[in-house]
Structure 1
Amino acid sequence: FAVLVLATKYVSVGSIAAAGACPLFAAYYFLYATFAPAAWVCTTVAALTVVWAHRGNIERLRAGNERRIGQKDKEA
């Protein structure tokens, strides 16, 4: 999260990437180390929910309209 936010100045990029990585790390921990598949499913659902919640940010990123950290609002 922090590396991507610092590199891109977009908090939404860091959040979406962290949500995408979470099921991957959870797969190792919950499916390999402790074998708790229900916990992995819950983690994956939570990650998908985070990405779904950021769908507006994704559209603004694609359009080039997403605000960066420190960027001032445009005057109306």
Structure 2
Amino acid sequence: MALLITRHCINCDMCEPECPNQAISMGDAIYQIDAERCTECVGHYDTPTCQQVCPIDNTVVTDPDRIESRDRLWEKFVVLHHAS
């Protein structure tokens, strides 16, 4: 499942540089996560770094419209980082 940044985002700039998939960028008003690039850090870390570095609780949450299995997240990781 991809993650989603909610309206509680304060644009602190903590998450964007921590994303190993470069899935986070500034949107119109707050940061946003590209669901096609988000692997919830599968292949990199045990837990999503954006959730860990965010200073505001419940700002980075699971996107209910993008439920994906761990296997699917792994497949995205492989495509993003091992494509030749």
Q: TM-score when scaled to structure 2?
A: 0.29
Q: Which has the larger radius of gyration?
A: 1
- TM-score normalised by the chain length of structure 1: 0.31
Structure with a larger share of its residues in helix: 1
Q: Which has the higher contact order (CA 8 A, sep 6+)?
A: 2
